[in-house]
């Protein structure tokens, strides 16, 4: 099944069905009629076989209300006819049902997997929904080149190579890749960029690449680095460290101190990766850890991802539509939907027993094509992992409940609309301002969840793009901004400010052209993990209040004109407009007031004023003889000679 870049399955009604308000409208849309619903269900139930399968409840408009699975379809559907035993939630569903769609399967495990797929596709309003189900990032070591590339990967795993993950967030992937580049010096550039190089790029200069593009390392040497990287990602980090330590000692004995220093830096990178592991998971191997918390009618699930004994991050999930369901039912539905997209680990650790644990094991084993074990640890290191996950689940739920303010909600919705892995902590917005290419200025404003960060605004006096070319201007601004970021904090190890800080989102005032220019610039710098979105006026040039949001893959999205997220993004765009125009006006004003005398070294405001009072215009100063310059009050022989030589370099 194909997926969008955001990780959600396609659907005939796409955005409408993904919007939860629309799903709620579906519930309200049909006229409830309990007897009509019972009649429709009874008609289908008569012909059902006692076989496993999946059923869909459909309302009068053809929208799916509920997707369910069954070991025996005939018996399961018959339960809906016993109205007195149904909770109020299911009574409402039956009253809106007008038809059913049935699919039989070979086993209940197949039915479970199909149910998860259909829930993700149709987003039924009566099913538990995993709303935080954006695709998870992986690390990919491609195998389609003599010099494999290390990169972040999302979506279908079609490219040939080794995949490592999932990671909980793009941030955890980026941090790991940056450290791995420093540790193993693997290239991260695209094949086209790799093939065009005739000299090493900036990453080689900052010791994050071995420059195989220009022959600074041969195929065998690079292959050895790739082997070490695979061992490290597979959990053999101690063996890799020992190997590097031996190589460092050998280099030191040979007095090859440059090589020894390089190996020392690689060891430090390995220590950084291991030091960033917030969880001690030694001996656990590959495992996914889940714990659930409930408070105030909301449910939170915390997930830890352990691979090769290393912590690859954690993420909190908050399933929807959990009313009138037991915790075990919600947990089972969550796991089924979660692993519809993510490959299961060999071991899944839970904080509680589930009634359908055996069925889930069978289904996940089929997905992974190897044995998957689900267990509830009672003691030892695994139990401590569960306890830590439980604490994190409770704390994450508390934070979720506390973030009920309007601003926090807007930022969450903005992150979802722009398909970001998490709420951005730093958003940078770019624009430029000029008049036919003159006095061109680029502007950057910065915002975070707490508001605008005005002390981190930046303006750029555009130097190279002197023509009326917005695209070239945007290229220069972004090139200068991110080249400085690479220089000041190439490993992104600090939460720096200003030029040392890395944004979680870049917003451009512009459409496809600006987007293309910026993406080319970032690719040339070797940066591929910074989300970029262009904001352009709609088909009526913004008169109707609409904006079109452009994504790097060519997609375009819009928001309703009354959307709070749209207003928020428009305010950010208007703020960068204001800052860019203000900077341009200030530069233009200085240009108007500027005098050719300003270019003469050593001539300050007082002497400039004296010269203009004596000669009247700057042109007459330029044409004056040396003896005439000596008559100006306050101008010495040395200064007069300096002025004369400036305009008459030939004497």
- 165-178: pLDDT as tens digits: 788 777 778 877 88
Distance CA 257, CA 249 (A): 10
Query: Which residue did the predictor score with more confidence, 248 or 103?
Result: 103
The answer on pLDDT for 9 being more than 50 is no
Q: Span 454-473, mean pLDDT?
A: 80
The answer on pLDDT for 141 being more than 50 is yes
Q: Which residue has the tokens 């605008």?
A: 452
Position 21 scores a pLDDT of 33
The answer on pLDDT for 100 being more than 90 is yes
pTM: 0.56
For residue range 592-623, list pLDDT tens digits in order: 556 666 667 777 778 878 887 888 777 788 88
First-to-final CA distance of the chain:
79
| Adjacent-strand bridge partners of 430 | 444, 508
H or E stretch at 104: strand 99-104
For residue range 481-523, list pLDDT tens digits in order: 888 888 877 777 554 555 668 899 999 988 888 888 889 888 8
Distance CA 538, CA 546 (A): 5
Q: Span 629-639, mean pLDDT?
A: 84
Torsion angles phi and psi, residue 568, rounded to 5: -65, -45
Q: For the chain, percent helix, then strand, then coil, each to nearest 5?
A: 45, 15, 35
3-state secondary structure of 197: coil
In this structure, the chain runs to a length of 651
Whole-number percent of the chain with pLDDT over 70: 85
Distance CA 466, CA 440 (A): 8
Distance CA 546, CA 441 (A): 27
Distance CA 316, CA 401 (A): 13
Q: How confident is the model at residue 352 (pLDDT cuts 50, 70, 90)?
A: very high
Distance CA 297, CA 438 (A): 60
Farthest-apart Cα atoms in the chain, separation: 116
Instruction: Cite the DSSP H helix spans in 380-494.
Output: 380-402, 406-417, 470-488
Q: How confident is the model at residue 435 (pLDDT cuts 50, 70, 90)?
A: confident
pLDDT mean across residues, the chain: 81
Are 642 and 600 within 8 A, CB to CB? yes
For residue range 244-270, list pLDDT tens digits in order: 777 788 777 778 777 777 777 777 766
The answer on pLDDT for 78 being more than 90 is yes
For residue range 27-68, list pLDDT tens digits in order: 444 468 899 999 999 999 988 988 999 999 999 888 899 999
Q: Which residues contact 590 (CB under 8 A, 6 or more apart)?
A: none
Domains along the chain? Answer: 20-127 (3.40.1440.10), 137-276 (no CATH), 287-399 (3.30.420.340), 427-574 (3.30.420.340), 605-647 (1.10.150.20)
Q: How confident is the model at residue 17 (pLDDT cuts 50, 70, 90)?
A: very low
Torsion angles phi and psi, residue 479, rounded to 5: -65, -45
Position 348 scores a pLDDT of 92
Are 150 and 339 within 8 A, CB to CB? no
Position 235 scores a pLDDT of 66
The answer on pLDDT for 239 being more than 60 is yes
């Amino acid at each position: 099944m194909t997926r969008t870049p955001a990780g959600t399955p396609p659907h005939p009604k796409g955005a409408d069905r993904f919007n939860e308000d629309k799903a709620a409208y579906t519930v309200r849309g049909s006229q409830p009629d309990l007897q009509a619903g019972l009649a429709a269900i009874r008609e289908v139930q008569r012909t059902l076989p006692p076989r496993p399968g999946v059923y869909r409840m459909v309302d009068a408009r053809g929208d799916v209300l509920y997707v369910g699975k069954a070991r025996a379809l005939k018996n399961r559907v018959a339960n809906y006819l016993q109205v007195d035993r149904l909770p109020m939630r299911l009574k409402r569903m039956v009253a809106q049902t007008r038809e059913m769609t049935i699919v039989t399967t070979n086993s209940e495990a197949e039915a479970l997997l199909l149910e998860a797929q259909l829930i993700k596709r149709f987003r039924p309003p009566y099913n538990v929904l995993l709303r935080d189900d954006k695709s998870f990032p992986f690390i990919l070591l491609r195998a389609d080149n003599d010099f494999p590339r290390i990169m972040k990967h999302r979506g279908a795993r079609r490219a040939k190579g080794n995949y490592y993950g999932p990671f909980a967030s793009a941030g955890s992937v980026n941090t790991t890749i940056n450290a791995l580049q420093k540790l193993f010096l693997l290239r991260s550039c695209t094949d086209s960029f790799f093939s065009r190089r005739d000299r090493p790029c900036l990453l080689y200069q900052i010791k994050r690449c071995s420059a195989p593009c220009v022959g600074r390392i041969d195929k065998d040497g690079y292959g050895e680095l790739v082997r070490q990287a695979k061992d490290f990602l597979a959990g053999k980090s101690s063996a890799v460290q020992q190997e590097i330590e031996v190589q460092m000692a050998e280099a030191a004995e040979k007095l090859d101190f440059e090589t020894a220093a390089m190996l020392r830096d690689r060891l430090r990178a390995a220590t950084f990766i291991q030091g960033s592991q917030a969880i001690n998971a030694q001996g656990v191997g590959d495992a996914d850890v889940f714990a659930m918390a409930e408070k105030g009618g909301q449910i939170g699930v915390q997930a830890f991802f352990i691979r090769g004994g290393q912590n690859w991050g954690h993420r909190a999930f908050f399933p929807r539509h959990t009313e009138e369901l037991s915790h075990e039912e919600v947990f089972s539905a969550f796991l089924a939907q979660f692993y519809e997209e993510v490959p299961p680990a060999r071991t899944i650790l839970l904080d509680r027993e589930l009634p359908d644990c055996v069925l889930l094991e069978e289904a996940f084993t089929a997905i992974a094509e190897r044995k998957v074990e689900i267990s509830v640890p009672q003691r030892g290191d695994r139990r401590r992992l569960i306890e830590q996950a439980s604490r994190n689940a409770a704390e994450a739920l508390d934070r979720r409940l506390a973030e009920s303010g309007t601003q926090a909600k807007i930022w969450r919705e903005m992150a979802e609309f722009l398909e970001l892995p998490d709420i951005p902590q730093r958003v940078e917005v770019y624009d430029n301002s000029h008049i036919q290419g003159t006095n061109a200025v680029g502007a950057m404003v910065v915002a975070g969840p707490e508001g605008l960060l005005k002390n981190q605004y930046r303006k750029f006096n555009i130097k190279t793009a002197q023509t009326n070319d917005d695209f070239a201007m945007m290229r220069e601004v972004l090139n200068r901004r991110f080249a400085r970021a690479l220089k000041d904090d190439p490993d992104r190890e600090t939460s720096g400010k200003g030029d040392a800080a890395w944004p979680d989102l870049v917003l451009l005032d512009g459409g496809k052209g600006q987007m293309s220019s910026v993406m080319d610039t970032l690719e040339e710098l070797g940066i591929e993990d910074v989300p970029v979105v262009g904001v352009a006026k709609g088909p009526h040039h913004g008169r109707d209040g609409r904006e079109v949001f452009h994504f790097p893959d060519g997609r375009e999205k819009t928001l309703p004109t009354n959307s709070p997220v749209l207003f928020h993004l428009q305010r950010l765009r208007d703020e960068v407009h204001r800052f860019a125009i203000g900077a341009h006006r200030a530069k233009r004003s200085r240009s108007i007031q500027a005098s050719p005398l300003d270019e003469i070294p050593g001539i300050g405001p007082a002497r400039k004023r004296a010269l203009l009072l004596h000669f009247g215009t700057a042109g007459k100063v330029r044409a004056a003889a040396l003896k005439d310059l000596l008559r100006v009050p306050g101008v010495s022989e040395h200064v007069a000679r300096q002025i004369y030589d400036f305009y008459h370099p030939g004497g």
